[in-house]
Structure 1
Amino acid sequence: MRLSEYVEYDATGLASLVSAGEVTALELTRLARKAHEEVNTRINAVIEFYEDAETVPGFDAGRFNGVPFLRKDIGETEAGRLQEKGSRLFKGCRSDTDSYFFRRAREAGLRTIGRTTTPELGATVMTESILNGITGNPWDLARSAGGSSGGAAAAVAAGITPIAHGSDGGGSIRIPASWCGLIGLNPSRGRVSGGPNNQDESFGRSRTFVLCRTVRDMAAALDEFSGPHPGDPFIIVQPNRSYVEELSQSTGRLRVGVARTSWGAINLEPEVLHTVEATATLLHEMGHTVTDIEPPYEPIEYSRTYTGASTARWLEEAARAMGRTISADTLEPVTLKWYEYGRDVPLSRVEGLQEALRKMRFRVGEAIHAFDILLTPTMPIVAVSHGGIYSATNPTISANEYVETNVAICQYTGVFNVTGQPSVSLPLAQSASGLPIGIQIVGRFGDEATLVRVARDLEEARPWRHRRPQVRAGGS
């Protein structure tokens, strides 16, 4: 198989070729390495391609039959591998734990071949750090790939692997999916276990899944990664059938709530709004009932869910355990200010966090209860240029400004981390300048099945596989 052929396949397609004996799992790993060597110096998405990637046994079985996979450098861990969280504070740190997520990845036949960039502590919408530099968007290297799973998104968009691990605490899978022209699903709270160390991370706001290019890969990954483990805080309702089987099921007629207005301080760019309206028209033509909805929350409500206190305590404990010091030499400017802010937060505000989350969940739940799905922009704007107010390396931004900018740009994503609902970004359009525009579909809690069927319908009606970023392995 040539590299130009490898980059055309999704994970399901590559696995089928391995099953048919047309290519071996080892050949796929070597092709991924070749793709990495060809494009990574330009996009800076993969910070480590494992030296032993070709010799780790046992990855030519399972649904994915040895398909190359990448791990985001924060969140779920592989025992013995580096995990530096995009931070100088954690430079050289190795995990002693295998996350359930990566146990399942191996059982599914995914071969993890390296780790991808993330902003420091996965805290911003741009993947750039003092430790690892700037990750460029394959569609336009002057633009951000998004964050915090920006390295994963850039690697998949550029063809290094067809699928990669990501995590999402406020949009960190969906944002880079939107800006890099990929599918990014944030599953329901509890659908994919964060165990054994992060079963209910960030009060349930942070979840783990993948970024990929096709709906069938999303469905297959849901089948492989879903399911409870011992110690999980609750067991979510399990699906009636596999998600791959949902691809052949009728969608039915749905009640669709459409967001055509801003939910925060940043206005929608005209091309983003046009894509929302075009998608709403398409869903109406498919037979669904489409109704406009007002913003279901106020930005101040989301702002109250940011305290910084838990981050400050965690950083202090981690630094103490490593024998390191928190300072400007170990944390980036915004992270250091956020640490200092969280360290000084009064106890009364910390105690009120759960109530702030409860109130927001209740208000949003009531506002959108009448709808089976919601249609929103993923991001109000297309990919931004590097640096500026969204970068953690910016020395001028304050802790309060950091919160305000995140609340504004994540206005359609972070709210559903709070509610726990599943939401997926689909690459349904491009701007006049060729930048991807993602559209978000939000489902009822626990109802990934409907999202799979709707995503399939939209992929068939508005296919995106023919679009190519400027930087892509294989020379095509």
Structure 2
Amino acid sequence: MTLAMSWEEWASHDAVGLAERVRNGELTPAELARQAAAGIAKTNPSLSAVVEVFEDVVADPLSDGLDPAGPFAGVPFLMKDLGPTLKGRLQEQGSLFMRGNRPAADAWLTARMRKAGLNLMGRTTTPEFGVCSSAENPAVYVTRNPWDTDYTTCGSSAGTAAMVAAGAVPLSHATDGGGSIRIPAGFNGNIGLKASRGVFSIAPNLSDISGFVSTQGCQSRSVRDTAAFVDACRGGAPGEFMPYWTAPEPYTQLIKRDPGRLRIALSHEWGDYRATPAIVAELEKAGRFLEGLGHHVDWALPEADLRAAFAAQTTCYISNFAQVIAGLLETRGLQRPPEGLIEPMNIRIWEAGKDMSYAERYRMQAVFNSTARAFGAFFEEWDIILTPITALPTPKIGATEYLTISDNPDVLDWFGHLWKFFAYTPLSNLCGIPAISLPMGRQENGLPFGIQAQARQAGDGLLLQLAAQIERALGGRWNDGRRPPVHVTAA
């Protein structure tokens, strides 16, 4: 098969750049789709990151509702196998129990993506129901990091992280309920924005009041791609429980200007959790870089009861995921999860949360409120808080203590292990504030490492503006200009 461009040329383009070439008549959506499919075929055997490629929309991108007049003009896009549904397509959620599941309708956000001109041409891997830290159940698939295939991508947006990092697609769908966009972005050298509450709809099956912590988004390799995605796909569906908001200026325009001098707080002492010395050094290096851009940088932390916040977040996850599993069981007339088809920790989560009382949820919501108010007060004094993306380095494949195939009998102890590792990302979900992982750091073994910036509610544009300023200062060379060994340009 003859491709429209060399792999070097393909990898040098972001999504906005590819769309511009389509609008100029230099390329067609079908040529882009064929190139992306070839890139997946080239890299996926090493990574196990794509579950399925939709051959019909590779052959004819306009066959499935894509609007070629949208800003992305037919750019290939992969959907995490969780979250927004695609009419008639499999969505198996990383679970043996969900094998063969075909939703009957597009989700609201799916329609927004099609209208934006994104060619939804395949599915990427995720851990079962998006619960744990890696897409790593040997009975389903084991997704590997393109920088070193002995290591995990982390998750839950696992396959998306690997495919964007490997250069197969310039951007791809991701979801985030506690770090699932940002952590794999940080460990794979991508950009990952978790948007504020009230940006991306999770209609029709959930609202921001029932979903609470979950949001949609993407991973990319350029700030302008993420900005363009937010501009094109944001907005609420009819009947949303809470108002959705619009930025006063499109982010694609905003990011062309540097922000003013920002007050940036650094922290790695996050309640009971601390980063390793090597990770703290990467945070300090990022702080010095931002000082060099003219920003005020110092150490500071919101005055919140972080121990109570993590306990409330645990309650939220246990009760939410238990009800998700209960709903799936109900559709099949089952009384309990079948052993062997649902992973052990997810069964324990169902057992722990299926009968949780409203009183427990009410106490949880009270802590959500007090924590969000404390962060809100902090952002009256500071513009940004900068943290590492995690407290610990990327795990190797097979570190089962973070997986839902874990044999840990204690659900709370299992979550405690997660928080020690993923300390810095969940509270932005709890508070509904925006957060972005930027590939500014490097681990001792050479793998990428993300630095996370968080801002006040609706501060998404400021995060993207700062990210764009950093990108310009780096000459566009995220990850020091390095590429992973598993990459479309590799021989």
Q: Into which bin does the TM-score normalised by the smaller protein fall? A: over 0.9
How far apart are residue 347 of structure 1 and its match?
Answer: 5.1
Instruction: Give the one of 171, 174, 185 matched to 1:163.
Output: 171
1:410 maps to which of 395, 418, 422:
422
Q: Is the 8 A contact 1:382 1:435 kept in 2?
A: no
Once the 2 structures are TM-superposed, how far is the Cα of residue 368 of structure 1 from its aligned partner? 4.3
Give 1:5 deviation, angstroms.
Answer: 2.1
Amino acid at match of 2:342: L
Shift of 1:316: 2.1
Checking the alignment, whether the CA contact within 8 Å between 1:264 and 1:407 is kept in structure 2 is no
Q: Which amino acid aligns with 2:478?
A: W
Q: CA deviation at 1:418?
A: 0.6
Measure the CA separation in 1 of the matches of 2:351 and 2:9. Answer: 50
**Cα distance change, pair 128–156 in 1 and its aligned pair in 2 (3 A):** same
Offset, 1:350: 3.3
Q: Which residue of 2 aligns with 1:134?
A: 142
8 Å contact kept, 1:142–1:386? yes
Is 1:272 the counterpart of 2:279 in the alignment?
A: yes
1:474 equivalenced with 2:462 (yes/no): no
Query: Comparing 174-183 with 97-106, which one deviates more in the overlay?
Result: 97-106
The residue that corresponds to 1:320 in the other structure is 330
Cα RMSD over matched residues? 1.9
Q: Is the 8 A contact 2:402 2:417 kept in 1?
A: yes
Match of 1:330 in 2: 341
Instruction: Tell me the residue number matched to 1:212.
Output: 220
| CA distance 1:273–1:62, change in 2 (3 Å) | same
Alignment partner, residue 12 of structure 1? 16
Task: Provide, for residues 308-354 of structure 1, a one-character-per-residue CA deviation record: whole Å limited to 9, x for no partner.
Answer: 23322332232121345512222111111111111354553234222
1:47 paired with 2:51, answer yes
Give, as a single letter, the amino acid of the residue that structure 1 aligns with 2:243: I
Give the residue type in structure 2 aligned to 1:81: R
Aligned to 1:431: 443
Matched-pair contact (CA < 8 Å) for 2:144–2:162: yes
Contact 2:266 2:287 in 1 (8 A): yes
Which piece of structure 1 moves more, 232-241 or 342-351?
342-351
Structure 1 Cα separation of the partners of residues 417 and 20 of structure 2: 44
Whether the 8 Å contact between 2:19 and 2:73 is mirrored in structure 1 is yes
Distance 1:418 1:9 in 2: 35
Count residues in correspondence. 475
Cα distance change on mapping 1:236 and 1:343 into 2, 3 Å: closer
Give 1:363-382 correspondences, 5 Å limit.
363-382=374-393
Say which is worse superposed, 53-62 or 5-14, in terms of deviation: 53-62
Q: Which secondary structure does the structure 2 equivalent of 1:228 belong to?
A: coil
Q: Output the TM-score relative to the length of structure 2.
A: 0.92
- Aligned-residue identity in percent: 34
Question: Which residue in 2 is equivalent to 1:339?
Answer: 350
Distance 1:139 1:413 in 2: 22
Establish whether residue 28 from structure 1 lines up as the match of residue 40 from structure 2.
Answer: no
| Structure 1 residue aligned with 2:295 | 288
TM-score by length of 1: 0.95
**Structure 2 gaps, min length 5:** none
CA displacement at 1:286 relative to structure 2:
2.0
* 2:472 is the counterpart of 1:464: no
CA contact (8 A) 2:197 2:215 kept: yes
The CA distance in 1 between the partners of 2:338 and 2:407, in whole Å, is 14
1:141-172 CA-to-partner distances (Å, cap 9, x unmatched) read 11110110011111111122111000100000
Deviates more, 1:332-341 or 1:351-360: 351-360
The residue type equivalent to 2:326 in the other structure is: E
Structure 2 letter corresponding to 1:320: E
